[in-house]
């Protein structure tokens, strides 16, 4: 086939028109690598080679553009190229090239990901670890990188997050403790560290909520029970809600003396 015309359609692509009317788009590197500007005809076997080389360069270019936005894991790149309908053999060669050139490195990716999550999110090590595993990073790499997290900085981060939650979460002291432990376990912190940091804070029941809970129970059961039996029944209900005996006694005395 004879090349009738070359037309540059972007900074790195040319459209080639052949004498039989066929049109293909090739990357500039393919054209330069094969001296196509000098060749005036291309046979079928040569055209197949050019298309294969072009597909390789296209996949590599797409991967680099994807990596330019932020660091990616090997698994992310593979899944991205697969979604772009790149065949498995080309994906493998592209990933191998990116690994060799240092554009892909799961160890560096894991380190960067952990640093970002520690600095920019409330997530703890266990949740960060789970997310890294989803990104396809090998468990031994994740374990090593997670173990390098500064424990002092981690405790300081957890303490600040606890203080923030203590300002917004309300309820009985015992229920509040359970809520906070579960909340931070879900965020990926170890229970032992959570309990240790919680012990540094005085957990107080929300008095206003306790009074409201008492009044609601009183109004609900005052026609069913009376006197000490009513007081005992309400106290048990409040105790089950996580209020301490001292909190309950204090509020009952306050309500009686009003």
Percent of the chain with pLDDT over 70: 93
Q: What is the pLDDT of residue 257?
A: 45
Condensed to tens digits (0 to 9), the pLDDT of residues 222-240 reads: 788 887 788 877 777 777 7
* Distance linking the first and last C-alpha atoms of the chain: 102
Task: Choose between 232 and 140: higher pLDDT.
Answer: 140
Query: Is residue 250 scored above 90 in pLDDT?
Result: no
Using CA atoms, how far residue 34 sits from 16, 30, 187, in Å, is 14, 6, 55
Task: Choose between 75 and 214: higher pLDDT.
Answer: 75
Q: Which of 95-99, 112-116, 198-202 has the lowest mean pLDDT?
A: 198-202
DSSP type of residue 41: B
User: Which of 179, 106, 175 has the alpha carbon at shortest distance from 144?
Assistant: 106
Q: Say if residue 232 is exposed, middle or buried (CB neighbours under 10 Å; 0-12, 13-18, 19+).
A: exposed
Q: What is the pLDDT of residue 56?
A: 94
Q: What is the pLDDT of residue 258?
A: 45
Contact 129, 113 (CB under 8 A): no
pLDDT band at 117 (very low <50, low <70, confident <90, very high): very high
């Amino acid at each position: 086939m004879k090349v009738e015309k070359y037309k540059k359609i972007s900074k790195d692509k040319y459209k080639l028109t052949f004498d039989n009317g066929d049109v293909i788009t090739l990357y500039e590197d393919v054209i330069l690598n094969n001296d196509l500007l000098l060749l005036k005809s291309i046979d079928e076997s040569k055209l197949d080679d050019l298309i294969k080389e072009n597909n390789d360069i296209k996949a590599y270019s797409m991967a680099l553009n994807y990596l330019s936005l932020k660091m990616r894991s090997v698994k992310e790149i593979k899944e991205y190229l697969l979604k772009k309908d790149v065949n498995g053999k080309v994906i493998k060669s592209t990933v191998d090239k990116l690994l060799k050139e240092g554009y892909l490195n799961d160890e560096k990716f894991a380190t960067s990901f952990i640093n970002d999550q520690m600095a920019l999110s409330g997530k703890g090590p266990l949740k960060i670890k789970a997310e890294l595993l989803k990104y396809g990073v090998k468990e031994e790499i994740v374990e090593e990188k997670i173990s390098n997290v500064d424990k002092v900085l981690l405790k300081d981060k957890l303490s600040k997050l606890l203080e923030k939650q203590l300002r917004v979460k309300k309820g009985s002291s015992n229920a509040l403790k359970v809520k906070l432990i579960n909340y931070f376990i879900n965020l990926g912190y170890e229970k032992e560290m959570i309990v240790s940091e919680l012990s540094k804070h005085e957990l107080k029941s929300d008095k206003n909520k306790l009074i409201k809970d008492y009044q609601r129970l009183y109004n609900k059961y005052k026609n069913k029970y009376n006197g000490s039996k009513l007081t005992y029944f309400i106290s048990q209900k409040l105790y089950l809600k996580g209020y301490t005996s001292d909190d309950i006694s204090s509020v009952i005395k306050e309500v009686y003396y009003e």
